[in-house]
Amino acid sequence: MRRDTSFVLPFLGSLASIATVSGHVVEHRAPIESQHHNIFSRQAGDGVCKVTQPTIEAPSKNIWAGLTNQEMANAIDFLYKSKELNLTLDGGSWDNSLIDIDLLQPNKSDVLPFLAGKGAAPPRYARATLIFGTSMEPYIQEYMIGPLSQGNQTKAQPLNFLSNRKPDNRLRVYDMDGSANFSSILKSQANDIIKILWNMNGDEFGFRTVSPIREENGQVTVWQGLRGASTSLFNTGTILPQGLYVRTDRTGRDPSKWKITGWLYNNIFYRSIDEFKTAATQPGFEKLGMVVDGSWAQLVKAGDALPFDELPPPVSVQPGAKRFSVDTTENFVSWMDFSFYVSVSSDKGVRLFDIKYKGKRIIYELGMEEALAHYAGIDPVQSGTCYFDTEYGFGSSIVSLVNGYDCPAYSTYLNTTYMDGTTRGTQPNGICMFEITEDLPIQRHSGRGFTSITKNIAFKLRSVTTLGNYDYQTTYEFRMDGSMTVGVRASGYIQAAYAAKNEEYGFNIYDNLSGSMHDHVLTFKADFDILGEKNSLQKVEFVPTTETYVWNDGKPRNTMKVKKSFIATEDEAKINWSPNGNSMYSIVNKDAKNKYGEAPGYRFMPAAGVAALTIQNSSVTQNAANHADHHFYVTKQKDTEARASNPYNLFDPANPAVDFAKYLDGESLDQQDLVVWFNLGMHHMPHTGDLPNTVFSTAHSAMTIEPFNYLPGDPSRATTQQIRINRDSGGNGSVTEFGAKHATCSVDSVCYYYPLSAEDELDKAYANMKFCLQCQLDPKVEILNATIAIQKLPYDGTRPNRIG
């Protein structure tokens, strides 16, 4: 079930204060003392480092904040009271129900006057996903509810303006109904053949259904693949395929008319179970081996001991006050010359808004739009599988981060909240923020009499989403040179295929097991505003050429030139990165040239491998994934083209809710408000090293966004975290420092309890909090509750924040 997401902020996993994500225009202010600053500034003894969290005051509420408890409760109450919608709480397949509710992000055209101080905050609306099961053709439809908290003015209406589907945004649902009777028929037939093939009980197996399920030529055909059941606590089912597949016809809503239409085994198709059983009992019939669960698939320590591995490894520590500020109410973050607001949507996850550098907005919105995984294989399940992971909730599936493993032990953590049906819950420590010194300098140069070197310090914001078999890590990084990097990594259990006849789709990686090839493509939106909203897309290309020069007596020379141009229209802005990496793209402002006559901007380029879909004109995705067939796209910003996809696009891929190709309709890109839609991802070819889990170190993709003729020089020269070593001809030397303070305090060896005054609820809840710097070296791994539920219905308006 998909859920709504906003924020709660706990410092270091210990101090929690409940807050929504909100804010307005950023001002650079001196940090002010937090009301709980004393908790962190106490010392265990003289000379012991203090750890403090500076705060900053955002000038106004964040218009991108998630729905408040009161807003959500009112919206849900309004929906369930609507006679027209006829929703049923905890309804069945023949009822109308609420699937998800979240903030409908305000239109940029309404937000910009507010950010400029020239208008009021735009009214707030909720976006609700409803499923209508009361007809013979059930469907999903999105609604907008609002303006919120305005009494009789609140209305619910179809959210049509964000969809370019015709005639409306209704999407048919073809797997609405379940049937115990049909399942028993399928199980009975499966048991018979399982007994013949492996002499085993069918209860030890299960079926995995292809995703998506849809109608073709008036018929709903469903393929399922047999897989073994996990024999441990680990969810190993996706690596236990058994090579047996069944096809069923589930057309219509009367399960008594559904039927089994065939079986596939060893790439031989049988039209009935009797035909299959007859063949399986004949001499010479090839019976395939099983994929058997065991320690090879389990997440346990294995292999010979590594030298010195039992010793503690190096770790990063925070030697004093943190060097970034957070508004704990508005979730506004300021680090060095960067500032931004943080928000989370239930389907798309963590997003950043109003990113400013040196006080000027460079990006209005940055965040993931869709994460798809497209498979291929000799069998119908792998061949027919494509996941749109926003359907499952990239934000609502955020998991708790493990202190000292996912993030440094000194990190500041944010909780996330979500909706599960009509219940609001909390995921503790869903986001971490930290500053870190990287393992290479940002600048270095040596000459005859000097060595100059500068530390490379970055600020990172990170989350992890678990969607079934995969964990996705998303990290936003900011650096002293004015650059940003968006990175994603994947780890977890692969979705493997059975090995027989699958040689052209993967490698044999275990007994009877094939690593199934698949593409991961994660589409991100970056809405640039470089010195205003009017920008252009510049292309800079290295090209080979033969030239003659006046200084070379007219003789031709083979060399290279730079070719500068601008991409004129959206028709030209469907782009793949050049194979040799010799083309560069920047969003620039031609109307604000620097003193050298160059257009300032920000360049975007791959920092680690990127990917687009390998399959062209996919039979599975059809028009649903037109945002994923190139490396990036640039379009003119429109309020009606706010998202690259829709979580339910695959329900009707021929006519999806959002067909991204329709955005590319030839409009001018010359000094317009531009949006870059770039794809990260991996062409994943699983091998033996993917067992038991794929690892983050290689399943990695990233995009860097950096100043390009935007500044007069390298802004990292402003940092005090640099030195110059001076040497004279006589061998004498000196070191020049630039004002950086050095940690002279000790790292205490004991974790202390600090009794609090219990003057407010936070003090009462977290009295005797345990904290010290030594805890960074040996962090306590907390076992966090998965949810802290707040039931929203039946709603009691006098207690909107009640628990239970």
Q: Which of 343, 470, 428 is closest to 4 using CA atoms?
A: 343
Instruction: Give 672's strand partners.
Output: 535
Residue 376 CB neighbour total at 10 angstroms: 22
- What's 746's DSSP letter? B
Buried-state track 75-94, b at ≥16 Cβ within 10 A, e below 16: bbbbbbeeeebebeeeeebe
- Which residue, chain included where needed, has tokens 């090995």? 499
- Which residue, chain included where needed, has tokens 């002499």? 199
- Which residue, chain included where needed, has tokens 């990165």? 577
∠ CA 771-772-774, nearest 5°, is 125
Distance CA 509, CA 506 (A): 9
Taking the CA atoms of residue 557, residue 560, residue 561 and residue 562 in that order, the dihedral angle to the nearest 10 degrees is 180
Q: What are phi and psi of 114, to 5 degrees?
A: -65, -45
Distance CA 487, CA 485 (A): 6
The token duo for 362 is: 């460079």
Which of 4, 177, 354, 389 is catalytic? The answer is: 389
Active site residue 389: yes
DSSP, residue by residue, 702-737: EEEEEEES-SSS-GGGG-S-EEEEEE-TTS-EEEEE
Q: At what angle do helices 180-198 and 273-280 cross, to 10 degrees?
A: 10
Helix, strand, coil % (nearest 5) of the chain?
Answer: 15, 40, 50
Cα-based distances in Å from 696 to 359, 690, 720 = 35, 11, 33
Distance CA 374, CA 683 (A): 10
Cα-based distances in Å from 176 to 96, 121, 255, 256 = 11, 40, 11, 15
Residue 448: Cβ-neighbour burial (10 angstroms; 0-12, 13-18, 19+): exposed
The token duo for 585 is: 């793209």
The token duo for 53 is: 């969290």
Distance CA 696, CA 488 (A): 9
Distance CA 478, CA 711 (A): 16
Which of 139, 143, 375, 470 is catalytic? The answer is: 470
Instruction: Give 705's strand partners.
Output: 484, 604
Q: Is 418 helix (H, G, I), strand (E, B) or coil?
A: strand
Distance CA 315, CA 19 (A): 31
Q: Is 127 helix (H, G, I), strand (E, B) or coil?
A: strand
Active site residue 470: yes
The token duo for 422 is: 């009509």
Distance CA 388, CA 575 (A): 22
Buried-state track 618-657, b at ≥16 Cβ within 10 A, e below 16: bebbbbbbbbbbbbbbbbbbeeebbbbbbbbbbbbbebbb
Give kind and range of the element (H or E) at residue 114: helix 108-115
Catalytic machinery residues: 389, 470
